[in-house]
Amino acid sequence: MMVHVHVRIVPRSGLLDPQGQAIEHALSALGFSGIGDVRVGKAIELRLDAASPAAAAATARAMCDRLLANPVTEDFRIEVEPE
Q: Is 13 helix (H, G, I), strand (E, B) or coil?
A: coil
CA-CA-CA-CA dihedral for 54, 55, 59, 65, to nearest 10: 50
37 binds a copy of itself (CB under 8 A): yes
Q: Choose which of 12, 62, 71, 81 interacts with a copy of itself (CB under 8 A).
A: 62
Q: Choose which of 59, 69, 78, 80 interacts with a copy of itself (CB under 8 A).
A: 59
Q: d(Cα 40, Cα 20) in Å, to the nearest integer? A: 5
Residues in touch with a copy of itself (CB under 8 A): 6, 8-10, 20, 23-24, 26-27, 30, 32-50, 59, 62-63, 66-68
